[in-house]
Structure 1
Amino acid sequence: MGSVATKTHPNGLEYVEISTALCKARIFMQGAQIDYFEPVGKKPLLWVSSADDYQPGNGIRGGIPVCWPWFGMSDKDGFPQHGFARTRLWSMESVQLHGDVAKLKFVLHIKDADRQFWPHLTRVAIEFELSDTLKVSLVNENCGHETVTLTQALHTYFPIADIHQLKASGFSGAKYIEFARGPYVQEGDEVLFDRETDRVYTELSPVQLLHTPDGTIEVGREHSHSAVLWNPWIDKSKWLSRFNDEDYLTMVCLEAANVLEDKLVLEPGQSHTLTTTIRWL
């Protein structure tokens, strides 16, 4: 069996520490954000900047921030980038240990103060399934009487040892927008990194691979035809918050998403589950 314990970070953030025969993990109540996942006998699968100080009210610069109920900048002045879910406290609804597999579920109870951003009657939850593989599912349900439209992403940061040696594959035939230009059609199956990369992909196959000096990471998606591939490179790294100037050398983001024409449209009573599954091959 395993153990699940609630603890408090020195800066005050509450988190859940999970330990089983297959993995070790840590999930913060703020943002329901997992920042650490290490399969036993293998290297960690998530990256966090050493510049992050885990202050309440700031999304952690790494792990898997939850971008909800919109991805990127809102078209409304004063609305927070990537939504508000990643800086709010979620409630842990359930914990299950089945043999060596741990399952945890968190729910976001939207406060009155956030109704200015999101007046809709929806329920959003996030489910973690932890074994030698990390599976994260973002579940939306429209509980109201009107159609609801949203965009979202599981903004996963991966450790890749050396950006110059990284090859990302599985992109053949997809379309992407980069720096508000496009859409372009992906040429070839692989993406290499020698500059800032900020691509929003659509019509994308459900599995991509990150070929790193430490091995190959498989990144799968369900109920998603879009994803974001991001590395800030040299110039942007200098002004990103909670990010060291040279952090771009050791990380990349590949994010399961529902964005652009893949946005989520929920009719009354409908539900949808966006899932990403991550493992070392």
Structure 2
Amino acid sequence: MLNVLLENEFGRIELYELADGLQAFQFFHQKGQGSISLYGGQVLSWQPEGQQPVFWLSDTSHYSTGKAIRAGVPLCWPWFGGEVKLPNGALSKVSNHGFARQSEWKVDDIEISASTVEVTLSLTGKDCSPYWPAAFELKQTLIFNESFQQTLIMTNLSEQTVEYTGALHSYFCVGNPQKTDIPMLNDVLYDDKINGCNDQKSTLKHCMGPIDRIYHNNDNMFIVDHEWQRKIEVISQGCQDWVLWNPGKGAEDMLDVHAQGEHEFVCLEAANTNWQQITSQSSVSIGQTIKLHAL
């Protein structure tokens, strides 16, 4: 059942249930449409007016507490990958990508203007994980118009310095990863998570997997989609790395990737994969801006 949260002459926002009591809302605006899940504080979709969808959403994604949603822009925080740093400096194996993407976020504000839909979400907690017990507040601002802007502000409310890794795990819709390239990643040093080799350098001919790489570079990127004749510009803020991922045939073992789904997306993630400090009672932020250009 739909519940209209906000409506004016420029657009409307509707609250709906994803499944199992998990809520999301969708917006319809003269500049485009999209959807956001409160579970995970996660952008699920965005399609500017007159354009193909920008973010990919799996038809078989899980919508249940304790499961990550395979769609849009999952938030990997307060750790990326499957390791955390313990107080003694040792690393410990944990479940992938932290707890923010499996937490219930709160809506702080929604605004609809002639040009923009702006949403502010927050997540506050303490002792959310034995591996990361610090008190914290996350504030996420999402701005949709012809472009998309996402900012995640992280505040350390504890009395000690904490460390985090994280990523904006964007699933970008493309016409065909085999006909998609990212020229600015050519000749950039990367760590290959598949073969375990670090500080590699090669020409990226296409984005069809299996690919799982961490590129040590924070330049602006262009995803060149030759099938759909467009470029997706991705500008990161406060991030040191780019993560490139497509599972290729490995998607056959992923129940939350629909059949042939790996042929529809490429993940390019603005990330900090090395540990970053947040001193007591202070804030840091990461973000990204996404723009579309015709080829």
Distance 2:83 2:221 in 1: 28
Aligned residues of 1:64 and 1:156 also touching (Cα < 8 A): yes
Paired residue for 2:284, among 254, 269, 272? 272
Task: Measure the CA separation in 2 of the matches of 1:6 and 1:127.
Answer: 18
Structure 2 counterpart of 1:2: 11
Which whole-Å CA distance do the structure 1 matches of 2:126 and 2:206 have between them? 43
Q: In the alignment, is residue 181 of structure 1 matched against residue 193 of structure 2?
A: no
CA distance in 2, matches of 1:92, 1:106: 5
The alignment status of 1:210 with 2:224, answered yes or no, reads: yes
Counterparts of 2:13 and 2:207, CA distance in 1? 39
Please say if residues 124 and 136 of structure 2, whose CA atoms lie closer than 8 Å, have aligned partners that are also in contact.
no
Aligned length: 275
The answer to whether the 8 Å contact 1:173/1:204 transfers is no
Instruction: Label 1:225 to 1:208 Cα distance change in 2 as closer, same or farther (>3 A).
Output: farther
Q: 1:96 Cα shift?
A: 2.1
Q: Of 8, 23, 31, which aligns to 1:14?
A: 23
Q: CA deviation at 1:11?
A: 4.5
> Counterpart of 1:67?
76
Shift of 1:140: 0.7
What does residue 197 of structure 1 align with? 211
TM-score by length of 1: 0.90
Q: How far off its partner does 1:124 sit? A: 1.2
Q: Which runs of 4+ in 1 moved over 6 A?
A: none
Residue pair 2:106, 2:123 contacting (<8 A) in 1 also: yes
1:41 aligned onto 2:50: yes
SS of alignment partner, residue 198 of structure 2: strand
Greater alpha carbon shift after TM alignment, 3-12 vs 100-109: 3-12
Name the counterpart of 1:79: 94
- The answer to whether the 8 Å contact 1:174/1:204 transfers is no
Q: Equivalents in 1 of 2:239, 2:93: separation in Å?
A: 28
Superposed CA RMSD in Å reads: 2.0
Identical aligned residues as a percent: 24
**Match status 1:96 vs 2:108:** no
Query: In the aligned structure 2, how far is the partner of 1:41 from the partner of 1:195?
Result: 29
> CA 1:194 to 1:83, structure 2 compared with 1: closer, same or farther past 3 Å?
closer
Q: Which of 240, 245, 259 does residue 225 from structure 1 map onto?
A: 240
User: Tell me, what secondary structure is at the counterpart of 2:178?
Assistant: helix
Shift of the alpha carbon at 1:106? 0.9
